[in-house]
Amino acid sequence: MRLGLLTSAAFLTGLGAWAQQVPLGSSNDHFYAPGYSNVDSGLFTPLESLSAIAEKEFTTFGHPFFPQYSVRLKQSRFCDETVRAYTGYIDIQARHLFFYFFESRSDPDKDDVIFWTNGGPGCSSSLGLFMELGPCRVPDSNGTVPHPQSWNTNANVFFVDQPVGVGFSYAEYGEEVDTSEDAAKDIAAFVSIFFENFSKFKGRRFHMAGESYGGRYIPLFASAIYDQNVALEASGLTPINLVSAMIGNGMTDIFSMVPSYWDMQCTGASVPPVVDIATCVSTKNLLARCHKRMKESCVDQYDKVDCTAVTDYCNNLLSTPYRATGLNPYDISKPCEDMDALCYTNTKYITQYLSKPDVRSSLGVDVSIQRNFSSCSRPVSLAFRATGDTYHPTTHHIAALLERNVKVLIYVGTYDWVCNWVGNERWTLDLEWSGQEEFVGQPLSVWESNGKRAGRTRSAKGLTYATIEGAGHMVPYDKPDESLTLVQKWIADQPL
């Protein structure tokens, strides 16, 4: 399903937004404006303050620039009683994306704003919230506990379940989004609607962040926001102050990542070799062939059938021996606890917590969602795979953002196998942009957290690459102190 990003200028003569309040659990028919026929009269005005948002009912608001979109929001008292928290839905006609928003523990009226998405494709950002960087965690069956190293220590943070079908997001008639390009349109519209309605966020520094498949999402999402800014400014609206993109253990370039599996399992890249010599030798002999065929079919001239065939073959060739070891693909230093739980028992506790009726009611989860919470959606993953979305690198988008002075942070836990540091370092060094020579010429240096070595880093002209030693795929989960230090320095424009 493809929807246009921008609407015609005819809707822009009235520049306000609109709002109304509706009871929780109401039919979706109540969540839409009756149309924008009254925009010209100037009757629709921005909400201005989050204090206008109620707890017992949704406040629904929109933006004349995006007539197919609206947002419903409520206060939600959970997770962190020290800050104001909100939950709601981004409504795009019959598609609805669930999200959380937490104000900063420090200075919400001045601190930066961070958007966060998990990857998959098809995994809920509730994992990022309740297991990694959110203000609380669900470590066992007893519910939430405070998380002192949350990223909202010095920033206001969004967690969005996207695309439709992920987490508490849903569609009414089977609609789906199966490409990152279409997902980017929805996120770009949402960000503008939110910032335009609440005046204190206008001009606020904004960072797009994500992990894993976020390596494909975030460059596209940030690019969509940057390009959308041009149209907003031309219409007299406030653009989004997009400062940076942050990608953790990202699958940004699958063609650099797949060959790097050999390095991770057959050399001492992170830990001593974990695959037997005979297998390492036989697969090594095929690496050059895999690289050549993937370049021809996927990069030089994209052919969906050939690209899928060769990438899947090479991926299976290298991943099958690793998975046979029983090691965690997200942390090569330990065994997988439970493959059905993404190798982490914590994910089961998060699922149990978010499947409780009282929790769902408190969050404002739509009553039409009868299924239990699921960390990841297989149908969404398969839909993205069917379109070939997973085989398109986003390195060119990153180069384009850098050329437009949008900073980019690539951080990688050294124990991750599936989106490892070897592949990520390779594509950052190969990235073609005006700062390439200076970036490549920078030696790796040690960076510290609380006076202790945290990893190594390289930086030039807005691009920073950093490792976090001893962390796996989910850096904030494994190394919360180092993760918070990294983010605090980044948003403060301090070198690592």
Task: Return d(Cα 139, Cα 393) in angstroms, integer.
Answer: 35
Tokens of 218: 């975030």
Q: In angstroms, rounded to a whole number, what is the distance separating the alpha carbons of residues 358 and 410?
A: 38
- Can you give the pTM of this predicted structure? 0.90
- Position 34 scores a pLDDT of 29
Q: What is the pLDDT of residue 77?
A: 84
pLDDT of 24 reads 54
Determine contact, residues 73/53, Cβ cutoff 8 Å. Answer: yes
Peptide bond into 163 cis (omega under 30): yes
pLDDT (0 to 100) of residue 484: 98
Question: What is the pLDDT at residue 442?
Answer: 95
Q: What is the enclosing helix (H) or strand (E) of 212?
A: none
Q: Which long-range contacts (CB under 8 A, 24 or more apart) does 278-282 make?
A: 279/321
Q: Where are the domains of the chain?
A: 1-251+365-496
41, 14 Cβ separation under 8 angstroms: yes
Give the amino acid at 350: I
How many residues are listed for the chain in this entry?
496
- Active-site residue numbers? 212, 416, 473
Pairing of the two strands 112-117 and 463-468? unpaired
What are 460's two structure tokens? 């030039």
Nearest to 380 by CA among 233, 242, 175: 175
Q: DSSP labels for 188-208?
A: HHHHHHHHHHSGGGTT-EEEE
CA–CA distances in Å: residue 141 to residues 318, 346, 476: 37, 9, 21
Q: Which CATH number does the domain 1-251+365-496 belong to among 2.40.180.10, 3.90.1280.10, 3.40.50.1820, 3.20.20.70? A: 3.40.50.1820
Please compute Rg for the chain using Cα positions: 22
Tokens (6 digits) for 223: 């690019």
The pLDDT tens digits along the chain (496 residues) read: 333 332 222 222 223 333 444 445 443 433 333 233 223 334 457 777 788 788 888 988 888 888 889 899 999 988 888 899 999 999 998 899 999 999 999 999 999 999 999 999 999 999 999 999 999 999 998 889 999 999 999 999 999 999 999 999 998 887 888 999 999 999 999 999 999 888 889 899 999 999 999 999 999 999 999 999 999 999 888 899 999 999 999 999 999 999 999 999 999 999 999 999 999 999 998 999 999 999 999 988 899 999 999 999 999 999 999 999 999 999 999 999 888 888 998 899 999 999 999 999 999 999 888 888 988 999 999 999 999 999 999 999 999 999 999 999 999 999 999 999 999 999 999 999 999 999 999 999 999 999 999 999 999 999 999 999 999 999 999 999 999 999 999 999 999 9
How far apart (Å, rounded) are the C-alpha atoms in residues 113 and 136? 18
**In three state form, how does the secondary structure of 83-100 look?**
CCEEEEEEEECCEEEEEE
